Amino acid sequence: MDFFDVVSIEEARKKLMGIFEDYQIETEEVSILESTDRVLSQDIYSDIDVPEFNRSTVDGYAIKSKDSHGASESIPSLLTILGEVKMGEIPRQGIKSGETLYVPTGGMIPEGADGMVMIEYTEKLDEDNLMVYKAISFNENMVLKGDDIEKGEAVLKRGRRITPQVVGVLAALGISKVQVYRKPKFYIISTGDEIIDLDEKLELGKIRDINSYALHSLIAQLGGNVVGKEIVRDNYELLRAEVERAIGLADIVLISGGSSVGARDYTGKVIDSFGGKGVFVHGISIKPGKPTIIGEAKGKLLFGLPGHPVSSIIVFKTMVEYFIEEKMGIIDMTPRINAIMDFNFPSSPGRETYQMVQLKEIDGGLHATPSFGKSGMITLLSDSHGYITIKAHEEGVYKGEKRDVFLL
């Protein structure tokens, strides 16, 4: 029987990134209409100023701001109206001191103007004369050329996940297509004689397949594509055949269950049977998730994840998600909030602990309480809002201290 050669999370990541140092995720060009939730594979630079001209942010009159100094309701400034600027048009004339042009919101500011006075603070004596009742400052109620984005500026960085807001920025720059990373292909294998799929009859002693469905959802959130999902019995030959098939179809193979040290845990043996690097991590000092396998076969990355749902999800987020985010240059986007701990909780010596918590609001502050349960209990996930991490060198968590809660 082989035993765990447990390494820290940092050491496991270092081995993973070292062995797959040359691994690259391919890129492709897509329309911005099809780019939402994809990840940019290159920096985006602007070849224009945004806005491309000085624009008004109000409906009102373009003036030289000094012409309004000292203006009040009792002593207004009197200006000559030259006409108006229509939307989408270039002003036909500029203004000099004592002159003004009407400009709608978003319209181009005429040459010579350095401020916009809102229409609410003006009154027309007649078609040619305007009274201004309020002083304005230099460049007030204006957006200047390049204020938003300057020509040549790196607007969006590689690794940025494309959101509807990002699509809006791309449209403003006149960019219709972008280079993004291709969706990494995943193949999920659940192992165990007791595992059945959702459409099979549940009999005593059998367990419905939870992990592959949870992992499928995590992969979708990550931006990956599941190309296959199978349940394999505890049989070396069956598992090897399925893994070989998965290697041919996917970039990353996830094998859920079969990562312990029992006599019927074939994952490590199967990975080693293909030659190459084989298993290079077997055991990580993490709770939950210690019995984790990471290996290489035929240039593909394979993970042997724990069979318990909570452990499987935690390892996916700490190792698989980490790998993809590093290769794509994605900034850690895991949503987190700060909460006050409502409990004392000891650490597991030498292991990084991931403790599920529930959140509640008390007197305007956010508090966290532990969700207790074994890692095989799926309700531990459904009853939790997130988790906290307790580093291997920490003694634990103390009531009253503030911690980051990573939201599920």
Measuring CA to CA, how many Å separate 223 from each of 275, 351, 386? 30, 30, 21
> Which burial class, exposed, middle or buried, applies to 367 when counting CB atoms under 10 A from its CB (0-12, 13-18, 19+)?
middle
Give the global pTM.
0.80
Q: Cα separation of 120 and 160, whole Å?
A: 42
CB-CB contact of 178 with 32 (8 Å): yes
Could you list the beta-strand ranges (E) of 145-268.
154-156, 177-181, 185-191, 195-196, 207-208, 225-232, 252-256
- 351 pLDDT tier (thresholds 50, 70, 90): confident
- CATH 3.30.565.10 corresponds to the domain 30-50+149-181: no
pLDDT tens for 229-238 read 999 998 999 9
CATH H-level, domain 336-407: superfamily: MoeA, C-terminal, domain IV (2.40.340.10)
Residue spans in the chain of domains classed CATH 3.90.105.10: 30-50+149-181
Q: Which residues of 114-153 are buried (b: 16+ CB within 10 A; e: fewer)?
A: bbbbbbebbeeeeeeebbbbebbeebbbbbebbebbeeee
Residue spans in the chain of domains classed CATH 3.40.980.10: 9-26+183-328
Q: Cα separation of 317 and 217, whole Å?
A: 12
Give the bridge partners for 80, in sequence order.
99, 129
CA atoms within 13 A of residue 55's CA, in its CB half-sphere: 17
Q: What is the pLDDT of residue 376?
A: 53
Q: Is the pLDDT of residue 241 over 90?
A: yes
Q: Cα separation of 37 and 160, whole Å?
A: 9
CB-CB contact of 209 with 195 (8 Å): yes
Q: Cα separation of 370 and 386, whole Å?
A: 10
Q: Cα separation of 244 and 253, whole Å?
A: 10
Residue spans in the chain of domains classed CATH 2.40.340.10: 336-407
- Name the CATH architecture for the domain at 9-26+183-328: 3-Layer(aba) Sandwich (3.40)
CATH H-level, domain 55-143: superfamily: Molybdopterin biosynthesis moea protein, domain 3. (2.170.190.11)
pLDDT tens for 40-55 read 999 999 999 999 999 9
Tracing tokens 């290996």 back to the chain, one arrives at 295
Q: Is the pLDDT of residue 1 over 50?
A: no
What's 217-247 look like in SS3? HHHHHHCCEEEEEEEECCCHHHHHHHHHHHH
Cis peptide before 291 (omega within 30 of 0): no
Q: Is the pLDDT of residue 262 over 60?
A: no
pLDDT tens for 178-187 read 999 999 999 9
Q: Cα separation of 64 and 342, whole Å?
A: 60
- Give phi and psi for 92, each to the nearest 5: -80, -15
Task: Tell me the one-letter amino acid at 289.
Answer: G
Q: Is the pLDDT of residue 258 over 90?
A: no
Q: Cα separation of 245 and 57, whole Å?
A: 60
